[in-house]
């Protein structure tokens, strides 16, 4: 069974995926894969430099994610260009990684995909697990973690489907508004449920 783990930016996907990994569940993480496929020399990297120019590079020619982030979260048009370059490579690599885990005998695999619903990737997973926090908590945690102004944080939140809309697509919801211990208890409860199904 492949579980798609999703949620809004800074809702706690990485927090939950770390808890799942600690319980021995393989997690394929779209954010990590999206970093790997834009390493210098890879095809998406070349396309990004071609479109956005070398001003978005650090001196060592790696991508300056802060600069690129500023451009794409200020412009839907530029974000669409970046998504069209990066997403096909991310999807392909994630499929390969999930297949590797299946070959090793794992029956339960989690794919952590922030844009699972927006990018119409629901066909890649059997069930959707949403990590939920209220929009207020989401804004506060995002601002604190990234040191963003309200405007910068809202740009990123507004680039995604609102978290309350995402809830409608979920078969399971973890409420991450409380303590980490409360979240961990929900993770363990779900794992027990899934293990019965596998």
Ligand X SMILES: Nc1ncnc2c1ncn2[C@@H]1O[C@H](COP(=O)(O)OP(=O)(O)OP(=O)(O)O)[C@@H](O)[C@H]1O
Ligand Y SMILES: CC(C)(COP(=O)(O)OP(=O)(O)OC[C@H]1O[C@@H](n2cnc3c(N)ncnc32)[C@H](O)[C@@H]1O)[C@@H](O)C(=O)NCCC(=O)NCCS
Among 30, 108, 130, 163, binds ligand Y (CB under 6 A): 30
- Residue 83, both tokens: 């998504």
- Residues binding ligand X: what is the number (CB under 6 A)? 16
Residue 49 phi/psi, 5-degree rounding, is -65, -40
Q: Measured on CA atoms in the order 11, 22, 100, 104, is the torsion positive or negative?
A: negative
H helical segments located in 23-75: 30-36, 43-52, 65-74
81 in contact with ligand Y (CB under 6 A): no
Decide which of ligand X, ligand Y, none touches 15; Cβ closer than 5 to 8 Å per partner kind. ligand X
CB atoms within 10 A of CB 78: 15
115 in contact with ligand Y (CB under 6 A): yes
What is the smallest separation between the CB atom of 80 and ligand X, expressed in angstroms? 19
- Residues binding ligand Y: what is the number (CB under 6 A)? 17
Among 3, 4, 5, 7, binds ligand X (CB under 6 A): 7
Q: Which residue has the tokens 């990018």?
A: 119
Among 180, 185, 188, 193, binds ligand X (CB under 6 A): 180
Is 159 annotated as ligand-binding? no
Among 3, 5, 9, 170, binds ligand Y (CB under 6 A): 9
Binding marks (x or -) toward ligand Y, 120..149, rule CB under 6 A?
------------------------------
User: How much helix, strand and coil, in percent to the nearest 5, is found in the chain?
Assistant: 60, 15, 30
> Which positions ≥6 away from 193 have C-beta within 8 Å?
none
For residue 173, what are the β-bridge partners?
Answer: 130
- Residue 107, both tokens: 């029956």
Decide which of ligand X, ligand Y, none touches 79; Cβ closer than 5 to 8 Å per partner kind. ligand Y
Residue 22, SS3 per DSSP? helix
Residues that bind ligand X (CB under 6 A): 7, 9-15, 31, 114, 141, 145, 176, 179-180, 183
Residues belonging to the binding site for ATP are 10-15
Residues belonging to the binding site are 10-15
């Amino acid at each position: 069974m492949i579980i798609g783990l999703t949620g809004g930016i800074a809702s706690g996907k990485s927090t939950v995926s770390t808890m799942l990994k600690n319980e021995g569940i393989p997690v394929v993480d779209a954010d990590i894969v999206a970093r790997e496929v834009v390493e210098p020399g890879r095809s998406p990297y070349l396309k990004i430099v071609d479109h956005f120019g070398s001003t978005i590079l650090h001196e060592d020619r790696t991508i300056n994610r802060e600069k690129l982030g500023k451009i794409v979260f200020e412009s839907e048009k530029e974000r669409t260009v970046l998504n069209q370059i990066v997403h096909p490579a991310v999807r392909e690599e994630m499929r390969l990684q999930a297949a590797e885990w299946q070959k090793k005998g794992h029956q339960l695999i989690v794919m952590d995909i922030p844009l699972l619903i927006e990018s119409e990737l629901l066909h890649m997973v059997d069930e959707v697990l949403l990590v939920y926090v209220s929009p207020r908590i989401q804004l506060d945690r995002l601002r604190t973690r990234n040191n963003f102004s309200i405007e910068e944080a809202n740009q990123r939140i507004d680039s995604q489907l609102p978290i309350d809309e995402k809830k409608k697509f979920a078969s399971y919801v973890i409420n991450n508004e409380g303590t980490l211990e409360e979240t961990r208890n929900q993770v363990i409860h779900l794992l027990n449920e899934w293990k019965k199904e596998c």
